[in-house]
């Protein structure tokens, strides 16, 4: 029996996945989490074989969850199940420790097949994602010339505002409400902040902020 944990904020999708695993003879759902904070606290105790992880969670990014959970569970495979298809997000997830990447919606039989595949050492990916990965390797970004200007690491006004809210502990939804922007837009700003500050999680941002202010 393959033990599966799910991190998904959409209640409808959680219900569907609960039914899918209840009706499968090989997979058993041992934990269902609606946000990143509870997942980070609860999943290591369950020690599942496979984790199904969404990216757009209400508190912290699913990519950050992977980065926090993966080192604790080296024998656990993680499959991203999300609507994000941009190459940057794909590689961030894989670099954080994900072993597969599926794009919603996924038919139940395809999801179960992906779980079995990843347990056998495979790397399940939706066709569109596999194509994007191949395209990146076929067309890598051109190298910067020796006299190229230094990378712009300064935060723009909106990015600085988002950073302050992150340090204050606000969730993506709370930040979107404060700034009157979409949660997905908050996620975009957060990714830019991560890149410019060379961090991978909110915890690293807070540590960097404390170090600067101390």
Task: Please report which helix (H) or strand (E) contains residue 194, including its range.
Answer: helix 183-197
pLDDT score recorded for residue 137: 57
Whether residues 161 and 134 share a domain: the answer is no
* CATH number of residue 179's parent domain: 1.10.10.10
| Residue 150 covered by a domain | no
- Domain region containing 203: 157-213
For the chain, 214 residues long, give each residue's pLDDT as a single digit of tens. 999 999 999 999 999 999 999 999 999 999 999 999 999 999 999 999 999 999 989 888 999 999 999 999 989 999 999 888 877 788 888 888 888 899 888 899 999 999 999 988 888 888 777 776 666 655 555 565 555 555 455 567 888 888 888 777 777 788 888 888 887 788 888 878 777 776 666 666 666 655 554 4
* CATH number of residue 34's parent domain: 3.40.50.2300
pLDDT score recorded for residue 93: 86
Whether residues 62 and 134 share a domain: the answer is yes
| Residue 29 covered by a domain | yes
Whether residues 53 and 113 share a domain: the answer is yes
| Residue 143 covered by a domain | no
Whether residues 10 and 96 share a domain: the answer is yes
Class of residue 137 by CB neighbours under 10 A (exposed 0-12, middle 13-18, buried 19+): exposed
| Residue 34 covered by a domain | yes
pLDDT score recorded for residue 128: 75
Whether residues 201 and 105 share a domain: the answer is no
Whether residues 127 and 206 share a domain: the answer is no
pLDDT score recorded for residue 140: 56
| Residue 67 covered by a domain | yes
Whether residues 6 and 91 share a domain: the answer is yes
Whether residues 98 and 167 share a domain: the answer is no
Whether residues 113 and 9 share a domain: the answer is yes
Whether residues 134 and 201 share a domain: the answer is no
| Residue 152 covered by a domain | no
C-alpha distances out from residue 209 to 84, 164, 198, 202, Å: 29, 9, 13, 10
* Domain end call among 110, 138, 166: 138
pLDDT score recorded for residue 214: 47
φ, ψ for residue 30, nearest 5 deg? -105, -5
Which residue from 123, 48, 23 is spatially nearest to 7, judged by alpha carbons?
A: 48
Structural domains in the chain (count) = 2
| Residue 148 covered by a domain | no
pLDDT digits 0-9 by tens, 39-50: 999 999 999 999
| Residue 146 covered by a domain | no
Whether residues 193 and 128 share a domain: the answer is no
């Amino acid at each position: 029996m393959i033990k599966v944990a799910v991190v998904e904020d959409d209640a409808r999708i959680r219900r569907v996945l609960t039914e899918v695993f209840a009706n499968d003879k090989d997979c058993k759902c041992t934990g269902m989490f609606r946000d990143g904070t509870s997942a980070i606290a609860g999943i290591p105790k369950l020690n599942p074989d496979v984790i199904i992880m969404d990216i757009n969670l209400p508190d912290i990014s699913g990519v950050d969850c992977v980065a926090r959970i993966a080192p604790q569970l080296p024998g656990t495979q993680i499959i991203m199940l999300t609507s994000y298809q941009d190459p940057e997000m794909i590689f961030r997830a894989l670099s954080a420790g994900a072993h597969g990447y599926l794009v919603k919606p996924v038919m139940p039989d395809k999801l179960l097949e992906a779980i079995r595949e990843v347990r056998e050492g495979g790397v399940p990916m939706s066709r569109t994602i596999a194509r994007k990965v191949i395209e990146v390797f076929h067309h890598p970004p051109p190298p910067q010339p020796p006299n190229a200007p230094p990378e712009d690491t300064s935060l723009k006004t909106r990015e600085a505002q988002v950073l302050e809210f992150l340090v204050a502990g606000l969730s993506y939804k709370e930040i979107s409400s404060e700034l009157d922007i979409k949660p997905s837009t908050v996620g975009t700003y957060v990714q830019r902040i991560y890149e410019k500050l060379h961090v991978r999680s909110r915890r690293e941002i807070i540590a960097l902020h404390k170090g600067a202010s101390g």
